[in-house]
Structure 1
Amino acid sequence: MIKILIVDDHALVRAGFRMILDAQDDMSVAGEAADGREALHRTRELLPDVVLMDLHMPQADGITATGAITGELPAVRVLALSTFDLDEYVVDALRAGASGFLPKDISPEELVEGIRVVHRGEAAVAPRLLTRLIGTFVQVARPRRRTTPEQLAGLTDREREVLTLIARGQSNTEICQTLGMAGSTVKNHVTSLFAKTGVRDRAQAVIIAYEAGLIIPGDC
């Protein structure tokens, strides 16, 4: 079972999400929180697998809570929710450690699948949408941590090439075709560059590629 914590300042929204998620055979809502401060407390208490995190809350916001949760409890995955498809706060949430984001007007099926995706350790953002989002905001949003050349210094030329292709929105399968490599080889390169740069998933990998200047907005 995937244990889920729902964080939203609207009780009606939390109730709606709970109804959808508790109806799934592989999911269980472990608890709820109304703001970021309560979210951290409840995460420590319940140790959910996935935190469904609203970014816009009037008191303690979801970005700060995301950073606190992923910093203290890295095994917990955070799926950010935003009112808008392209929201600069989403980039801040990804920098803070969120494993992806979904707009709040998605279908129940998309919500359920997004939770399953982040629970598997993947980023719940479509590659093309991710590059469009970050290409729009990463140069103007205030970063919490800028990528330094040292973070990329340990990468091999091939790993830099793979990172650049990830930032251009390519899946592992597409990278295989572009570079003429076996799927297992690409996967090994991705795993290695994640470990060397300290990123958790493709979402954060795209951010550091932009911030390190490997790719610029529109170069996709």
Structure 2
Amino acid sequence: MNRKIRVFLTDDHTLLRNALTMLLEGQEDMEVVGEAASGCECLEGVKHKKPDVVLMDISLPDCDGVEATGKILTALPETRVIAVTMHVEDEYLLRFLNAGGRGYVHKSAADRELIKAIHTVVKGDVFLSATGVQVMANQYCSTESVSEVTPDILSDRELQVLQFLARGFTSREIGEKLFLSPRTIETYRERITVKLKLEHRSDLVDYAIRYKLLG
């Protein structure tokens, strides 16, 4: 039998943590290995437990979920972090993705979408709930940062790297898939951003969505 997916919960509401624990423990392939009510408590717990997935609220005492996500991924880059939050504003989603977050689930839909989100990020993909997709669509419609340069300016390899980047893969993970070094992937990333006149990961996601590059 395959090892269970180890999940760590972070939310300052005890009732929600209890509800999520019941939901996850009811899955044959998942187990809750720890929980925290604040950002600092989460950081300590995650370093000790080394979970596969962290469920992260954005609004937390002492250290918000975006900041905590960045610190977790600095210490444990293999960990996948999913935001489970009531926030639907563009700024929260984009900050979270830029910090390295892999999934975004609205609390009102957690009972329907969370299990799928966990399976998705464990496979290496990015999961956005319907609310998150709408936020990205709004960002795409309103932003002026999305490049007008078409994808045909990119080489086949650059296009391949862009697709992986937009899905949330790290340079090391992309390198493993393409049999290239992380440094080479970083070089491709620099070329892509220069050619497309983009700077941030959220811009790459916007671009990939706009030009239907994610299949």
> Which band: TM-score by shorter chain?
0.5 to 0.7
* 2:5 corresponds to: 2
The higher relative CO (CA closer than 8 Å, separation ≥ 6) is in: 1
The CA RMSD over aligned residues, in Å, is 4.1
Give the drift of 1:160. 4.0
Deviates more, 1:77-86 or 1:129-138: 129-138
Give the drift of 1:46. 0.6
Q: Is contact 1:164-1:209 (8 Å) kept?
A: no
Which residue, 116, 123, 126 being the options, matches 2:126?
123
* 2:156 corresponds to: 158
Which residue, 112, 116, 124 being the options, matches 1:113?
116
Q: Which amino acid aligns with 2:39?
A: G
How far apart in 1 are the matches of 2:108 and 2:199? 25
Aligned pair in 2 of structure 1 residues 133, 112: CA closer, same or farther (>3 Å)?
A: farther
Give the drift of 1:36. 1.0
Aligned 1:19-30 pairs, distance under 5 A: 19-30=22-33
Give the drift of 1:156. 5.6
* 2:73 corresponds to: 70
How far apart in 2 are the matches of 1:209 and 1:29? 30
SS in 2 for 1:106: helix
Deviates more, 1:75-84 or 1:30-39: 75-84
Give the drift of 1:132. 1.6
SS in 2 for 1:56: coil
Deviations along 1:53-98, one digit per CA (max 9) or x if unpaired, are: 0011132111111000011101111111221344411211111111
Aligned 1:1-220 pairs, distance under 5 A: 1-125=4-128, 129=133, 131-132=136-137, 134-135=139-140, 157-162=155-160, 191-192=177-178, 195=182, 196-197=185-186, 207-208=200-201, 210=203, 215=207
Tell me how many residue pairs correspond in the alignment. Answer: 182
Q: TM-score, length-normalised on structure 1? A: 0.66
How far apart in 1 are the matches of 2:166 and 2:18? 38
Q: Is contact 1:7-1:35 (8 Å) kept?
A: yes
Q: TM-score, length-normalised on structure 2? A: 0.68
